Amino acid sequence: MKLLDGKEVSEKIKEEITWESALFFEEHGRQPHLVAILVGHDGGSETYVASKMRNCEKVGFASTNLRYEEDITERELIDKIKELNADETVDGIIVQLPLPAHIDPEKITEAIDYRKDVDGFHPINLGRMMRNLPCYIPATPYGILLMLDYYKIDTTGMHAVVVGRSNIVGSPMSVLLARNTVPGNCTVTLTHSRTKNLQEEVLRADLVIAAIGKKNFITADMVKEGAIVIDVGINREKSDKTKSGYKLYGDVDFDHVAPKTSYISPVPGGVGLMTIVGLLKNTLLAAKKEVYP
């Protein structure tokens, strides 16, 4: 069993981004600029946004964190996004999910200019991804592809099983793994909580992407010997044994599954760090106008 170490991979890629960011500053007299919008005081969201801001600083990006109380109206939030769309000094815009119940996340996503949608959630980016056209790939699937590439894992001909069908991870991941690219060229099965005989489906997999959002959902009896397992899950539980007061668990029962695998990603220290790298790379592409000139 070999660990897919998100810390090692992300640090290496961030070195490359730092170099490109410095070059961008030399050529344009400004830093690539990411704006993150945070509504409310969800603990997990605050942690994620703070981490994104820290990483922007580390690679030489400018970053702005706009914070709003939960009572902000949908209209006010959309108006702010339109203002950022028109600001030529802003390259990327992200709105941290989840949002309060009175705000429709789809409307917010569609309000972001697709050319600044560095999370890769806008329908135009997702549609272009489906057609294998230049676009911003959703940050988490992008990070997973970067991880597979770093470890030189040739997925050609593999049977990949994706567990979870979200628009953020599962569905785009299934499309990307099936494409005629490297990594890619997989035969893909997209499964979810309503899949019949889910255990049998996952047992057939050479590559498992677990993104269903349930603690320790993938157990040892669901994984065949030698499979590659990538755990996307981040499940927070209160704990009096950690400084933060929370402990993170993945969607994979790591302790029991790991001995059966050829490669496995841990939680924390795996895909979460790669998601940030995917976001940083998209922001750099946006600043350089490489995807949408």
pLDDT of res. 100: 96
Q: Does the pTM of the predicted model rise above 0.75?
A: yes
Q: What is the dihedral of CA 258, 260, 265, 267, to 10 degrees?
A: -30
Q: Report d(CA 266, CA 275) in Å as an integer.
A: 14
Q: What angle do CA 200, 205, 209 make, to 5 degrees?
A: 105
pLDDT of res. 246: 82
Q: Report d(CA 117, CA 95) in Å as an integer.
A: 10
Asked if 162 contacts 140 with a C-beta cutoff of 8 angstroms, the reply is no
Write the Ramachandran bin of 157: left for phi over 0, alpha for psi from -120 to 50, otherwise beta. Answer: left
Q: For residue 39, give the nearest of 64, 70, 63 by alpha carbon.
A: 70
pLDDT of res. 238: 85
pLDDT of res. 125: 98
DSSP letter, residue 206? S
Q: Return the structure tokens found at 100.
A: 């309060």
Strand locations in 51-121 (E):
62-68, 92-95
Identify the three-state secondary structure at position 210: strand
Q: Report d(CA 25, CA 37) in Å as an integer.
A: 24
Asked if 13 contacts 146 with a C-beta cutoff of 8 angstroms, the reply is yes
Q: Could you tell me the domains of the chain? A: 30-113 (3.40.50.10860), 139-272 (3.40.50.720)
Q: Report d(CA 170, CA 193) in Å as an integer.
A: 12
Write the Ramachandran bin of 175: left for phi over 0, alpha for psi from -120 to 50, otherwise beta. Answer: alpha
Q: For residue 109, give the nearest of 130, 84, 81 by alpha carbon.
A: 81
Q: What is the dihedral of CA 127, 130, 136, 138, to 10 degrees?
A: 100
Identify the three-state secondary structure at position 247: strand
How far from chain centre, in Å, is Cα 26?
Answer: 29
Q: Report d(CA 210, CA 213) in Å as an integer.
A: 8
Helices and strands counted in the chain (H then E): 10, 11
pLDDT of res. 242: 81
pLDDT averaged over consecutive 10-residue blocks of the chain (293 residues)? Answer: 98 98 98 98 91 97 98 98 98 96 97 98 97 96 98 98 96 98 97 96 98 97 98 90 85 98 97 97 98 96
Asked if 144 contacts 230 with a C-beta cutoff of 8 angstroms, the reply is yes
Name the residues annotated as catalytic: 52, 96, 119
How far from chain centre, in Å, is Cα 148?
Answer: 14
Q: Which residues does 187 contact at the CB level (< 8 Å), separation at least 6? A: 157, 158, 159, 160, 178
117 residue type, one letter:
D
